[in-house]
Amino acid sequence: MSAPATATHAAQGLAARRALRFARIRGVTFAALGLVLLYAAAGAFATPAVFSFWIDKQGGESAELQTTVGILWMVAGVASGAVGMLQLFRGTAFPWRRWLLVLMLPVLAALLAALLNGTSANLTGVLGGSLELAAPITMGALAGILSERSGMLNIAIEGKMLLGAAVASIVASVILNATGNPLLGALSGVAGAMLVGALVGLLLAWLGIRHKVDQIIAGTVINIGALGITNFLFLRVLGRNTELNTPPTIEPMRLPLLADIPVLGPILFSAKPYVYVAIILMLALTYMLFRTRWGLRLRASGEKPAAAGTVGVNVLAIRYRALLLAGLIAGLAGSYLSLSTAGSFQMGMSAGRGFIALAAMIFGAWHPIGAFGAALVFGFADTSQALLSILGVQVPPQLLNSVPYIVTIVVVAGVVGRVRGPAAAGQPYEQA
């Protein structure tokens, strides 16, 4: 996550040449991928690809989109070739990450059609599901962006999500039992999750700043501790008192008017509130980070804290506040797990999502919008996995289950090129 600090002149020349070489490799790779996809297209024009979408609501009328797998492969191939050419011509200036995300659309559509092999599939659920599963990952990634932009490595998102999920379920159940009001219960569950996330965020900041504990070790402490304490609570308390683990669930919310738009309405505007919150947070943080004084100071603390400190910015206070905010968001993401998917808290239910969120953060180049795009890809991988198993496509479930984790490794390894994170992330700062 932290780039090696080599800032000599020779290294700069070297780095420029290296960047150019990587750009060329990327261009050739895109072009080659295009050829492979066109080759795949040649044999597949006979296989029909039928996708349908619900027009007004789940189970209502549906619109069908009929084409062949070959055409889909061809579109993907041509697109990949075009991106490759653009990359080769524009060199290092080419914003390839954005284009790679765009390119994923036709490639994934074609891949899905090829796996379905002629069976018709309704995509409203898959697309809506991708959006929904992307929401907690986006929020986790936003928490990561806030911390790392301020100069604190935050690998504890996993632990915060897990704690948030447990606390949300318990608080929501208790309030529901006490008041009988599901909405109040759910809202207080969410609030409880955010609170515990914030407290853990402050603990992380305190360990890292006050006690100068290595930020990776501090994060690991929180991750292991969260796993232990939530498992313990589940087995000792929730197992015996099931009334503490039956929270109200947060159901999809139809936005008036917008939800009536044909085809798009059921996908985009009948989603769970978490989706709307994630998108609003993404836009708000983009504005705050890059258009406000607060954002400039936060980024300065993460890039060159000494310089920020010299002009009078209170770097440590900024880092504490960033981790507090990040904790609130990570806790919120955790509440999604217990209140909106399973309907109760289960042991280890975060299942690596906190780390996948970090991968989304890295792939999104520490930018909220990029992270959202990456989270969508993870969400799509997750939901199409469910779709394929429902349709009985013969792929071993263990292979499908590993896909998100392998994709995360590939993304973090940046097989297609290295991203530079905030320069000072992870380094303790001595404030005078």
Partner 1 sequence: MTKLVALLRRGALPILAVVTALLFGAIVIVITDFENLSRLGSDPLGAIGGAIGGVGSGYGAMLSGAFGDPGRILTALQSGSQKDIATAIRPLTETLVASSPLIFAGLGVAISFRAGMFNIGGDGQLIIGALGATTTAIALAGNAPAPVILVAAIIAGTVSGGLWGFVPGFLKARTGAHEVITTIMLNYVAAQVVLFGLRSDFLRAPGSGQPISKVLTTFVDVPSILSLPAIRLDYGFVVALVMAVIVSWLLFRTTKGYELRAAGFNMTAARYAGMSAGGSMMLAMFLSGALAGMGGSFMVIGTVGQLSNDLSGGIGFNAIALALLAGLRPSGVVLAALLFGALTTGGKLMGIQSGIPFDLLFFVQALVIMFVAAPGLVRTIWRIKTPPVEAEVAT
Asked whether the beta carbons of 222 and 201 are under 8 A apart, the reply is: no
Which helix H or strand E contains 62, and what residues bound it?
strand 62-68
What is the C-alpha end-to-end distance of the chain, expressed in Å?
Answer: 27
CB atoms within 10 A of CB 196: 24
Binding site for partner 1 (CB under 8 A): 1, 3-4, 155, 207, 211, 213-214, 216-222, 224-225, 227-229, 231-233, 235-237, 241, 351-352, 355, 358-359, 396, 398-399, 401-402, 405-406, 408-409, 412-415, 418
Q: What is the nearest approach in angstroms of partner 1 to the Cβ of residue 236? A: 5
Q: What is the nearest approach in angstroms of partner 1 to the Cβ of residue 159? A: 9
Q: What is the nearest approach in angstroms of partner 1 to the Cβ of residue 397? A: 9
Nearer to partner 1 by C-beta: 124 or 338? 338
Which residues are paired to 53 by β-bridges? 63
Nearer to partner 1 by C-beta: 263 or 351? 351
Bridge-based pairing of strands 121-122 and 62-68 is unpaired
Alpha-carbon torsion (284, 163, 193, 338), positive or negative: positive
Nearer to partner 1 by C-beta: 162 or 313? 162
Nearer to partner 1 by C-beta: 222 or 337? 222
Nearer to partner 1 by C-beta: 33 or 218? 218
Which residues are paired to 54 by β-bridges? 62
Q: What is the nearest approach in angstroms of partner 1 to the Cβ of residue 1? A: 5
> Angle 315-336/353-363 helices, nearest 10 degrees?
120
Q: What is the nearest approach in angstroms of partner 1 to the Cβ of residue 105? A: 25
Token pair listed for 73:
């492969």
Q: What is the nearest approach in angstroms of partner 1 to the Cβ of residue 364? A: 15
Nearer to partner 1 by C-beta: 231 or 314? 231
Asked whether the beta carbons of 189 and 335 are under 8 A apart, the reply is: yes
Q: What is the nearest approach in angstroms of partner 1 to the Cβ of residue 216? A: 5
Nearer to partner 1 by C-beta: 219 or 368? 219
Q: What is the nearest approach in angstroms of partner 1 to the Cβ of residue 354? A: 9
Eight-class DSSP state of 132: H
Nearer to partner 1 by C-beta: 31 or 155? 155
Token pair listed for 204:
């992380």
CA dihedral 324, 162, 124, 278 (to 10 degrees): 0
User: Residue 427: CB partners within 8 Å, gap ≥ 6?
Assistant: 2, 151, 305
* Of 378, 407, 388, nearest in space to 131 by CA: 378
